[in-house]
Amino acid sequence: MKRTILSFILLLSAMTAFAQKPKKEILYLGTYTQKGEGIYVYEFDRSDYSFKELQVLTSKTSPSFLEFHPNKKYLYAANEGNSTVSAYAIDQTSGKLTALNTQPAQGRGPCHVSVDPKGRFIYLSNYGSGDLAVYKLNQDGSIGALADTIQDKGRPDQKPHMHSIIPSADGKYIYASDLGIDKIMVYAVDPKTGKLTPGAVPYAEVKAGDGPRHFAIHPNGNFGYSAGELASVVNSFKIVKGSGALVPFERVTMLPADFTGKSYAADIHFSPDGKFLYASNRGHESLAIYAVDAKTGKLTVAGHADTHGKHPRNFLIDAKGEFAIVTNRDNDNAVFFKRDAATGQLTYTGKEISAPTPVCVKQLFLN
């Protein structure tokens, strides 16, 4: 009897240890390939912020923005260098990438790629030509047939520059930020074809010269926030249920009151719990930190964190909320910051990845 009980305890302990075994974490860096080689892949240990290079996927096409398929088995890259978009399969044991296929961007200078939350479509933002493209996704993760393209209209003194597309959590709408014409376009997505139809309120227009660049939707789905590149501001919107329309209610600066230099906004992300919003400043070289009122959507400045590098582009807030990683293009580094979940503040860890001109970072958990 004692032997049976002992065996059961040992078996239970083994099962518990297996269940608690940390998942392998993988980081992917997208780069500009005037200096970089392509996509850099690292295994990461959060216990001490250590990392090990696993792969350098050579692609001298400036894969400057990356995004996962919702099933995390595939990665997509917007290639600014040759105006294409590429699909990669992710090895579910190692995290290494294998090329699947590449499609034309249908425009010039694709700077952002996003994926439908249900894995049906991929959205491409072409900055140079001011248009967007929608492709269907195949079951094997490869990029399939072209579903739609839309060319934004500007004026002789105000040319369109499509900068990002963010889908709603249910995939019914997309929010397409055009920096050149100061509009965030709202489109309804046909779930079968991927065709886009202007929303009931087809766009939200920001103050002239704000330059909407990236967009983030609060985890509760009630509010959207736009990082205005040219004016270094965050524009806040209520999202109308049923139509996806954007109703503006607040505009706040991303810079300290005593800052007098030039600075340009880049990226914007929430903490996993939605209590804090972060936005990157290129020039002030910081992440602006805001506390978010979940009921009203109003922002309160909570501080600014030095990025310990110049020209901070894309960044990520850890899915568990424990740290942040900022890519500093001009210092060739991706810097790790410990995050205080209660206050939202970031503390420099002294740890960083050296990689040439990094401009995008993504995090993946493997079982």
- Give per-residue pLDDT as tens, 177-228: 999 999 999 999 999 999 999 999 999 999 999 999 999 999 999 999 999 9
- The pTM is what? 0.94
Residue 3: per-residue pLDDT: 52
Q: What share of the chain is helix, strand, coil (3-state, %, to 5)?
A: 5, 55, 40
What residues of the chain score a pLDDT lower than 50?
Answer: 2, 4-11, 13-20
Helices (H) and strands (E) in the chain, counts: 1, 28
Beta strands in 207-275 (DSSP E): 212-217, 223-228, 233-239, 246-253, 264-270
Strands 196-205 and 38-45: unpaired
What does the alpha-carbon distance between residue 62 and residue 37 come to, in Å, rounded to a whole number?
8
- With 0-12 / 13-18 / 19 or more C-beta atoms within 10 angstroms meaning exposed / middle / buried, residue 360 is buried
Which of 54, 65, 135, 143 has its CA nearest to residue 91?
Answer: 54
Q: How far is CA 40 from CA 54, 94, 158, 307, in A?
A: 8, 14, 36, 21
What does the alpha-carbon distance between residue 359 and residue 348 come to, in Å, rounded to a whole number?
19
Q: In whole angstroms, what separates CA 11 from the centre of its chain? A: 42
For residue 86, what are the contacts with CB-CB under 8 A and spacing of at least 6?
A: 59, 61, 63, 76, 77, 79, 99, 100, 101, 102, 143
Token pair recorded at residue 88: 């990669």
Q: How far is CA 152 from CA 82, 161, 174, 181, 351, in A?
A: 21, 8, 15, 8, 42
Evaluate whether 110 touches 126 at the Cβ level (below 8 Å): yes
Which of 324, 269, 299 has its CA nearest to residue 278?
Answer: 269
Evaluate whether 217 touches 174 at the Cβ level (below 8 Å): no
For residue 262, what are the contacts with CB-CB under 8 A and spacing of at least 6?
A: 283
Strand ordering across the sheet containing 358-366:
50-58, 38-45, 24-31, 358-366
Q: In whole angstroms, what separates CA 102 from the centre of its chain? A: 21
